[in-house]
Amino acid sequence: MNLKHMNPEQLEDLHLPDEALAALAAGEEWEFTPDSIDGADDDVSYCDDCNTWHRTWAAWGLRLDTDGNLYEVEWTVDTDGDWSHVDEYPYGTYDHDLDNAQRKTRWAYYARWAAEYGEDPVGNFYVSRARDRGVRWQVQFNDSLIGLRVVVRRRGRGTWLRLTDAPARVREFFTGLDEFKSVEDARLRAFVDRWQTRGNRAWITVTEPVNLSERAYKAKLRAIALRNLNQES
């Protein structure tokens, strides 16, 4: 595309920056080089040398030569942040629709591969290697001169722990404990799962992370990859 053959209305439709128009008028070269992958399209490809998959991003720039010819300039960026110049094309000649369709096909192939092998080398499918499970903690409340005191023990067995020594998720459960002035006050608020019939003990349920086995992780990954593949088809 030669901009020197365009009228002002056609140039305006290109939404070029003032620097580009000034370079065109002066017969100088101008170039826009992207400096981030914001808005860039990500792609995936299999590398025979590494025997694994790689993710890259395609970022586009512009170049105007001294004769007024405008080009789209293709760059790729890898996960290490390394930029590579690919090629340049006369403006308006590159088939972006075809490129998008081919990229979609490559991602679909990757999803099928991930579903088959239970692996995700480019991290396209978020699968946590842990899951939350509810664990019961027994709580004992005691009145004291300085307010309500609490000790806990996991599943009602083992050593009683002061609240300050309990896991973070247990401590978080009792955020605002200073609002309770007594055991009776805590009972009236009914913030625990269940009070025991007698005494000052109760039960709470706290979630804690549990690591998945490799088999369970792969099964979860396969299910997510297949779901993604079905949604895209």
Helix, strand, or coil (residue 211): strand
Q: Is residue 101 part of a domain?
A: no
pTM, to two decimals: 0.69
Give the Cα separation of 220 and 6 in Å (integer). Answer: 56
Q: Containing domain of residue 177, as a range?
A: 133-211
Count of domains forming the chain: 2
Q: Is residue 172 part of a domain?
A: yes
Contact 124, 45 (CB under 8 A): no
| Residues 157, 80 share a domain | no
Q: Is residue 230 part of a domain?
A: no
pLDDT at residue 228 above 70? yes
163-191 per-residue burial string, b: 16 or more CB within 10 A, e: under 16: eeebeeebbebbeebeebeebeebeeeee
Mean pLDDT of the chain: 90
Q: Is residue 112 part of a domain?
A: no
Contact 4, 67 (CB under 8 A): yes
Indicate the pLDDT class of residue 186, thresholds 50, 70 and 90: confident
pLDDT at residue 75 above 80? yes
User: 213: burial class by Cβ within 10 Å (0-12, 13-18, 19+)?
Assistant: exposed
| Residues 79, 21 share a domain | yes
Give the Cα separation of 123 and 101 in Å (integer). Answer: 21
Indicate the pLDDT class of residue 233, thresholds 50, 70 and 90: low
Q: Is residue 169 part of a domain?
A: yes
Q: Is residue 151 part of a domain?
A: yes
Query: pLDDT digit string (tens) for 80-127?
Result: 999 999 999 999 999 999 999 999 999 999 999 999 999 999 999 988
| Residues 152, 88 share a domain | no
| Residues 79, 18 share a domain | yes
Q: Which of 58, 40, 49, 43 is nearest to 109 (CA)?
A: 43
Indicate the pLDDT class of residue 154, thresholds 50, 70 and 90: very high
CA dihedral 130, 136, 142, 143 (to 10 degrees): 80
Q: Is residue 45 part of a domain?
A: yes
**Of 40, 71, 94, which residue sits at a domain end?**
94
| Residues 138, 88 share a domain | no
Place of tokens 């629709």: 97
Q: Is residue 162 part of a domain?
A: yes
Contact 121, 52 (CB under 8 A): yes
